[in-house]
Amino acid sequence: MSELYKNPANTADERASDLLSRMTLEQKAAQMIQIAYSDIPREESLLWAERGAGSFLHVLGDNARELQNIALSSRLGIPILFGIDAIHGHGLHHGATIFPSQLATACSWDPGIAEEIGRITALEVAADGLHWTFSPVLCLARDTRWGRTGETFGEDPYLTGVLGASMIRGYQGDDLRADDRILACAKHYIGYGEATGARDSYDTEMTFRKMREVFLPPFQKAVEAGCASIMTAYGSIDGTPFTSSETSLKTILKDELGFEGFVVTDWKNVESLVVNQYVAADLYDANRMAVSAGNDLIMNTPSCYEHIIQLVNDGRLDIRIVDDAVRRVLRIKFLAGLFEKPEKKGDPDIFGCPKHLDSALRAARGSIVLLENRGDTLPFSGKIRSIAVIGSNADDIKAQYGDWTYFSHPYPSDIRPAPPFHTVLSGIKELAGPLGIEVQYSRGCDVMDVNDADIEAAAAVAAGCDAVVLVVGDVYDQVGEGKDRADLALSGAQQALFDRLISLGKPITTVLVASKPLCVTDISKKTGALLAAFNGGQYGGLAVAEVLFGQFNPSGKLPISFPRHSGQLPVYYNHLPGWHRGQYCDVSADPLYTFGYGLSYTSFEYSELQVDPDELTVSVTVKNTGVRAGSEVVQVYFRDMVSSVITPVKQLIAFEKLSLEPGEEKTAVFKLNRSDLSLVNTEEKRVTEPGVFMVMVGGDSRDEWLLKAELVLNG
């Protein structure tokens, strides 16, 4: 019998079916296993390569080549799929380009930036010989106490879907076989960020109708973008873990959305069914549930190999389910060209190359959001001859990078010199030097330890300078998986440091270097200027300095709302109506800064909103009424005025970034579809109901800043 699967002239489906017919049960079970190289001894990894493990993660360079050579020398020669957590750049590789976090990237509201980050990350991951990244994160961060908030694109499903699909296209391109492209993995499916109380991996208080309406749309865009893989979430829906939810994985994802890639579990998700969620008595039962539900590749539970074999032999697991899982994994391997080119062949000199660093700087510029600017505190005037930079996060690159970098997740790698980076302090020094401006620095206090502070020393430095830049925020110990917070107030002595500095009577610029929105209500009322820089990557500090000195006009808009108080959470713009009185008795119901908000060094005026119900078009004129060139994100929202189910008070359905010279005006035109105005009804069907819709257009989501017009849809 000819080996059809070895002929690249055949389709991926034909090759996968042929190869599957030649495999033993043991080989099929092995293809469903992903081994964490960093979690077991090297000798054990070699045995897994001989056995035919389908995938490894967190292995680089010669170690990966050694495993691949073993796999290729087997009877069928099935190549290993190597994966890595390249979340905002190939950040686990010392020397790679570190981009802004997803949350920081989302502040740009620029799909082009998201795609470019994906493209360059793919180049650097491929240069390491690897095939696959566990990115992008399509979870929605609606309760910002969640430790993984910074890994998301924010709180909105539409913006998340647009940016996520763009990043997928950047990773994968038009041809998965190309040496400079890698496989994407949309995660975590689904509703991970909706865990009750922002408790990581916990149960979600949502129904399948809510899942379909709010959390599914980004994944639908990922499927439409051709995403090769999707990762399941840790949590559960209505008491059923997502890992064992056949409704979620088979009925919705694979059958309804038509997802043709493979589903991979998250880290030890199958084992979690036994030891954390207690829905399975043992790993036999857990594997039966997980594989039957639609998981195709099991991450880091190696014992699943024996359990899958035994379950099939005992008649407890249908071999057709196993075959479907293995076929999906093999199909992607064929599409990616692994059988012809098992190792990506990139240029090792591209890590942190000038072209990639330029992209990191452009991405960092887009990530900065100007939240306050009283009395034109910024940009700095020519009268300033000395600047005091205060705060430990002003010179902490580890805090600026955030999660998923070689600082936060160190493991053996090909060590190269780290690429150049700029903290806020070094960025300010870089720009101040040629201007003859003196820069003095004082740490002030630790971000976490309230007793580690020398506030008076910081005040003395600030008192002797013309301008003060205070950098506050969080650090890695407060960021990431399993690091949820109950209180989002500034930690350590940071608030006390601000209070002392503001007492000096000088205008203060406060910069937030953090993984998420923190509760900075008091600072927002008193500071001269306030910048949200989040985790801006290796050039985040230089981008901040460019904004401070007026070399760059900020255009970032928030992809997520800032709470006034931790007890106000969750607070997001697209909430449901119906709250009795619509207020807390002790704090405003509105967020401190809402979704879509962001200032500029210029001003914009909106006029001439027009809605055509026949063509389903929306147009608006935007004019730059200031004296500087600037960019404005035009945002289109809608509200279904009367509907069969409760719908949000407003929902984003379109946006466009316009660049305008002083006095220039442009008309933005948006072409809508009826589906843009849809809802999920009580039968869990997405429909567009006839009736009256309110269309709202403006520079952020605040009602008072939006132009409004009615749109009537007939049946």
- One-letter amino acid at 451 equals N
Task: Please provide residue 275's backbone torsions phi and psi, each rounded to the nearest 5 degrees.
Answer: -95, -15
Nearest 5°: the CA angle 58, 422, 382 is: 160
Among 258, 225, 117, 122, smallest CA distance to 183 is for 122
Whether 399 and 531 map to the same domain: the answer is: yes
What is the pLDDT, as a whole number, of residue 419? 77
Q: State yes or no: pLDDT of 633 exceeds 60.
A: yes
pLDDT digits (tens, 9 = 90+) for 586-632: 999 999 999 999 999 999 999 999 999 999 999 999 999 999 999 99
- 23 vs 409, residue with greater confidence: 23
CA 217, CA 343: separation in Å to the nearest integer?
A: 34
CA 518, CA 230: separation in Å to the nearest integer?
A: 30
**Which residues are within 8 A (CB) of 525 and not within 5 positions of it... i.e. 6 or more apart?**
none
Total domain count, the chain: 2
Whether 559 and 501 map to the same domain: the answer is: yes
pLDDT digits (tens, 9 = 90+) for 474-532: 999 999 999 999 999 999 999 999 999 999 999 999 999 999 999 999 999 999 999 99
pLDDT digits (tens, 9 = 90+) for 44-101: 999 999 999 999 999 988 899 999 999 999 999 999 999 999 999 999 998 899 999 9
Among 385, 405, 383, smallest CA distance to 396 is for 405
Whether 619 and 544 map to the same domain: the answer is: no
Alpha helices in 184-241 (DSSP H): 208-210, 216-224
The model's confidence at residue 345, banded by pLDDT at 50, 70 and 90, is confident
Nearest 5°: the CA angle 589, 591, 592 is: 125
Whether 504 and 562 map to the same domain: the answer is: yes
Q: State yes or no: pLDDT of 302 exceeds 60.
A: yes
DSSP state of 376: G
pLDDT digits (tens, 9 = 90+) for 91-129: 999 889 999 999 999 999 999 999 999 999 999 999 999
From edge to edge, which strands make up the β-sheet containing 386-390?
A: 369-373, 529-532, 508-513, 467-473, 386-390, 438-442
What is the pLDDT, as a whole number, of residue 514? 98
| 575 is a domain residue | no
Whether 497 and 370 map to the same domain: the answer is: yes
Q: State yes or no: pLDDT of 409 exceeds 90.
A: no
Peptide bond into 648 cis (omega under 30): no
- 515 vs 346, residue with greater confidence: 515
Strands 438-442 and 467-473: unpaired
CA 420, CA 433: separation in Å to the nearest integer?
A: 18
Whether 560 and 647 map to the same domain: the answer is: no
| 376 is a domain residue | yes
Q: Against a cut of 0.95, is the pTM above it?
A: yes
Q: State yes or no: pLDDT of 418 exceeds 80.
A: no
| 668 is a domain residue | yes
What is the pLDDT, as a whole number, of residue 414? 56
Which residues is 83 bridged to in the sheet? Answer: 57, 132
Whether 369 and 450 map to the same domain: the answer is: yes
Tell me which residues are annotated as active site. Answer: 266
What is the pLDDT, as a whole number, of residue 415? 58
What is the pLDDT, as a whole number, of residue 582? 84
| 682 is a domain residue | yes
Q: State yes or no: pLDDT of 542 exceeds 80.
A: yes
Range 231-243 burial, b when 16+ CB lie within 10 A, else e? bbbbbbbeebbbb
CA 222, CA 168: separation in Å to the nearest integer?
A: 7
What is the pLDDT, as a whole number, of residue 487? 97
What is the pLDDT, as a whole number, of residue 1? 52
What is the pLDDT, as a whole number, of residue 474? 98
- 199 vs 232, 238, 486, CA distance in Å? 17, 16, 9
pLDDT digits (tens, 9 = 90+) for 198-213: 999 898 888 999 999 9
Average pLDDT, the chain: 96
Whether 517 and 395 map to the same domain: the answer is: yes
In the chain, DSSP finds a helix count (H) and a strand count (E) of: 21, 26
pLDDT digits (tens, 9 = 90+) for 269-292: 999 999 999 999 999 999 999 999
Which residues is 138 bridged to in the sheet? Answer: none
The model's confidence at residue 412, banded by pLDDT at 50, 70 and 90, is low
Whether 495 and 375 map to the same domain: the answer is: yes
> For the domain that residue 487 is a member of, what is the CATH number?
3.40.50.1700
| 285 is a domain residue | no
CA 189, CA 563: separation in Å to the nearest integer?
A: 26
DSSP codes of every residue in 266-288: -TTHHHHHHHTS---SSHHHHHH
Contact 469, 379 (CB under 8 A): no
Which residues is 84 bridged to in the sheet? Answer: 133
CA 550, CA 548: separation in Å to the nearest integer?
A: 6
What is the pLDDT, as a whole number, of residue 205? 86
| 56 is a domain residue | no
Whether 402 and 482 map to the same domain: the answer is: yes
* Domain closes at, from 543, 568, 593: 568
What is the percent of the chain where pLDDT is above 90?
93
What is the pLDDT, as a whole number, of residue 689? 97
- Count other C-beta atoms under 10 Å from residue 211's C-beta: 23
- One-letter amino acid at 291 equals V
- What SS3 class is residue 388? strand
| 530 is a domain residue | yes
> For the domain that residue 620 is a member of, what is the CATH number?
2.60.40.10
Domain of 645 in residue numbering reads as 604-713
* Domain closes at, from 507, 540, 568: 568
- What SS3 class is residue 532? strand
Q: State yes or no: pLDDT of 306 exceeds 70.
A: yes
Whether 394 and 536 map to the same domain: the answer is: yes
| 558 is a domain residue | yes
Whether 650 and 517 map to the same domain: the answer is: no
